[in-house]
Amino acid sequence: MSDDGAGRPLVMGILNVTPDSFSDGGLHLFDPVEAGLRLRDEGADWVDVGGESTRPGATPVEVDEERRRVLSVIEALSRRGVPVSVDTMKTAVLRDALAAGASLANDVNGGREEGYLETVAAAGAEVALMHMRGVPATMQNAPAYGDVVAEVHAFLVKRRDFALRAGIDESKIWLDPGVGFGKTDDHTRALLRALPELTKEGKVLLGISRKGFLGRLAGGAPAHDRLEGMLALHAWAQLSGVGMMRVHDVRATVRALDALDWLG
């Protein structure tokens, strides 16, 4: 189900303004605004601008460097009427990104940095709260859970409660199970199978685009060659009630979601 309760799920196009993202690092540094406009023209409902890679093993980026990477891009895209989301864990970056025109805060850290949720609330923005176990530098080192579905869902419900208490309207909160963030492939499978339960808790955003498990499912396919598995699993997510997909391949995603939606 989409944001407004009808039609296909929304599509969030990924625009990483980074030298080191796992699938598009360095690709958009030359002309990120053009790349963002292209995503919009291909049908993205949001363009998600990120200045810090969170791939497994990534090193953190300083606040000023992250600001330098994203703010002018956000400002330029917003000025052209593109709905912009900012992919940041940092309250300081978020504050400036919202002032530059972003209206969705996408946080792989679940809004845990001090002042993050209050900053979202003060701006009247939307927020995506993702589950991550550990930190990107080490999160894929043997992640372990008792019951991954119960633990991830409980974390997301708790973070949603914090967001509500900070003054964010429930209609503006997205929950994301965080595929690849401290999860083995078995954990990912369990979480994907449990999507129909998570969508009963609230609006769900899913980010599986080009992720490692899709490469392993496709016999070791590299990041740019993992489309088919993603589209198949999007169909499952769509039928499970997921409201937004975060993707690199916007055109193919929109076409696939529209085709399934066409069945009614």
Which residues of the shown chain bind ligand HH2 in the complex (CB under 6 A)?
14, 16, 18, 21-23, 50, 53-55, 87, 106, 108, 128, 130, 176, 178-179, 205, 207, 246
Nearer to ligand HH2, 78 or 106 (CB): 106
In whole angstroms, the minimum distance from the beta carbon of 263 to ligand HH2 comes to 27
Catalytic residue among 211, 216, 251, 255: 211
Q: Quick count: other Cβ atoms within 10 Å of Cβ 173?
A: 21
In whole angstroms, the minimum distance from the beta carbon of 150 to ligand HH2 comes to 20
Nearer to ligand HH2, 71 or 127 (CB): 127
183 is annotated as an active-site residue: no
- Going by C-alpha positions, the residue among 181, 10, 207, 174 that lies closest to residue 104 is 174
How many angstroms separate the CA atoms of 101 and 264, rounded? Answer: 35
How many angstroms separate the CA atoms of 251 and 167, rounded? Answer: 35
206-217: burial string, b at 16+ Cβ within 10 Å, e else: bbbbbbbbbbee
**The one-letter amino acid at 257:** L
* Tokens at 149, concatenated: 């579905």
Nearer to ligand HH2, 109 or 119 (CB): 109
In whole angstroms, the minimum distance from the beta carbon of 107 to ligand HH2 comes to 7
In whole angstroms, the minimum distance from the beta carbon of 200 to ligand HH2 comes to 19
80 is annotated as an active-site residue: no
- What is the set of active-site residues? 211, 246
